[in-house]
Amino acid sequence: MAETHSTSKTFFHAAHFMMYATMFTMIAQNLASMAVTGVPIGLLDPVGMLANMHIPSVEGIAALGEAGGALMDAAANGTWVTDSFFIDPHAAIGHAGHGAAAVATEPVLTDSAREILGM
Amino acid sequence: MNRRVFLSGISATALLPQFTAAQEVQGNSHPFEFLRDISTGENFRFDEERYNLVIVMTAQESYSDCGGAFIGVHQIMTELNARDTIHPIMIMPRVADQSYGQSDLRNIARAQRSEYPITILSGDLTDIQAAIATLNGAFLEIDPQGKVSGHTQDAYFLTPSGNQLLSHRADDYFTFVPLIDRIIGRCYGGLNPSCW
């Protein structure tokens, strides 16, 4: 049987190549920074720089999470979204696409209404 | 489905009461006419063109799922596009007659903020109880101090002049909507033969 090229062997070589390349890049950047600015940057600093360029800020991610959390709180606490209704979990079935709204607990009552209601 | 089942379904549906507002109204009386609309201060006058969808609530949130009744009303009105066909009504004892007093009025707020205006009817407890007595299965819970502490959680679908056609758990609009639709013929779900 002819010998076939093993996928796992290819992966093994590729992984090691990437590892070495990354290490060389990090060290080279450190040396370059030292040469240009006289200040050695940390080996992982370039990684952080790349992350900041391509990954949303922590504040941005936190804001998304907060908005999602607010929606979850609204559903759990009985706040009906666009219509300011309270909602309990089983009534929420089939209701989708509603946003958060403030819970209204104080009615607007005229003097006449208060008289009728004995207030 | 075989032919016999199909034909029996057709005939059963055809025998369901098919009320129209104009055919049903007789006289000017309504069982709620002794109650007052808190927004106008006047006694309730029924609309000859609209059925009544009635919930019985206290101003206080007597149960944790009280909001479900308002959801149910909203969904019924929305899914049947019934703004011109159904009049949502909330019968509510006076705040002075409820066990929580003025400390909790959230159900009034819910009714006022409904997308479909809900008429809030109130009055003396005896008048409230007399009105509720016309609704089969409706009740108020009265505590030892004579204050209203709870209520039925069903909604009641009435003719324009207040004759009960059906009742169902108010928050179970999945079931309620097609039941009402068979009467008002809005063809939701294709259940009404007149819509075929």
Mean pLDDT of B23-31: 65
Of A59-68, B107-116, B184-193, least confident by mean pLDDT is: B184-193
What pLDDT is attached to residue A54? 65
B147 touches chain A (CB under 8 A): no
Mean residue pLDDT of chain B comes to 84
Instruction: Provide the whole-model pTM.
Output: 0.59
Give residue-wise pLDDT tens across range B82-127: 999 999 999 999 999 999 888 889 999 999 999 999 999 999 999 9
Q: State chain B's maximal CA–CA distance in angstroms.
A: 60
Choose among B70, B71, B95: nearest Cβ to A117. B95
3 state DSSP class of B78: helix
Chain A residues within 8 A of B105 when measuring between CB atoms: 105-107
d(CA B109, CA B80): 24
Give residue-wise pLDDT tens across range A10-42: 888 888 888 888 888 888 877 887 777 666 666
Choose among B36, B96, B109: nearest Cβ to A104. B109
d(CA B69, CA B95): 19
Mean pLDDT of B160-187: 88
Within 10 angstroms of residue A8's Cβ, the number of other Cβ atoms is: 7
Percent of chain B residues topping a pLDDT of 90:
63
Chain A residues within 8 A of B61 when measuring between CB atoms: 86
What pLDDT is attached to residue A41? 63
Check pLDDT > 80 for residue B20.
Answer: no
What pLDDT is attached to residue A35? 76
Angle at B106 between CA B101 and CA B109, to 5 degrees: 125
Q: Residue B44 class from Cβ within 10 Å (0-12 exposed, 13-18 middle, 19+ buried)?
A: buried
- The DSSP annotation for A52-103 comes to HHHS--HHHHHHHHHHHHHHHHHHHHT--TTT-----GGGGTT--S----PP
A102 touches chain B (CB under 8 A): no
Mean pLDDT of B24-40: 83
What pLDDT is attached to residue B14? 44
A88 touches chain B (CB under 8 A): yes
Choose among A105, A113, A115: nearest Cβ to B109. A105
Q: How do B140-142 and B119-122 pair as beta strands?
A: unpaired
A98 touches chain B (CB under 8 A): no
3 state DSSP class of A48: helix
Check pLDDT > 70 for residue B195.
Answer: no
Beta bridge partners of B86: B51
The pLDDT confidence band at residue B24, using thresholds 50, 70 and 90, is very low
What pLDDT is attached to residue A22? 85
Give residue-wise pLDDT tens across range A65-114: 666 666 666 666 655 444 444 444 444 444 433 433 344 568 999 999 99
Query: Is 0.90 exceeded by the ipTM?
Result: no
What pLDDT is attached to residue B90? 97
**How many alpha carbons lie under 13 Å from residue B37 in its C-beta half-sphere?**
14
